[in-house]
Structure 1
Amino acid sequence: MTEEQIRHARGLLTDPENTITFVAKLLGISRTTIYKYVPELAAGRDSLVAGSASALSAPRT
């Protein structure tokens, strides 16, 4: 998975209507690959949404 695909997957997964299966099919990868490259999913999708909110507010360096 490229960095761009990882960012895209994370962005799509912050919407609760997008399932992991849907995102995997959209990106042409397996669900296992998403779990491998987006490890915060292991803690649940809520952690992904919380992480994206803090990432949006964090200043870029």
Structure 2
Amino acid sequence: MMPEQVWHARALLAQPDATIASIARLLGVSRATIYKYVPELKSGHRPQLEASPQTTRAELPAG
């Protein structure tokens, strides 16, 4: 996965109604690939939304 895809997957995973299967389909990868690039999922933790490589924290919406 490209860094932008990993960031996109992490951003989508921060949404409570998003599933790993739906994110994998959207990005055109397998669920196993999502687990590989977002290893904290293996322990049951969803990632928090972080700034993208092109976005600074100041540009992220508050919340």
TM-score (norm 1): 0.74
Runs of at least 4 residues of structure 1 off by over 2 A? none
Which residue is 2:61 aligned to? none
Structure whose residues are more often helix by fraction = 1
Q: Percent identity?
A: 52
CA drift of 1:8 comes to 0.1
Gaps in structure 1 of 5+ consecutive residues: none
Q: Deviations over 1:8-56 (max 9, x none)?
A: 000001111110000000000000000000001112134x23xx3xx46
Q: How many residues align?
A: 52
- Pairwise CA RMSD: 1.7
Report the TM-score when normalising by structure 2: 0.72
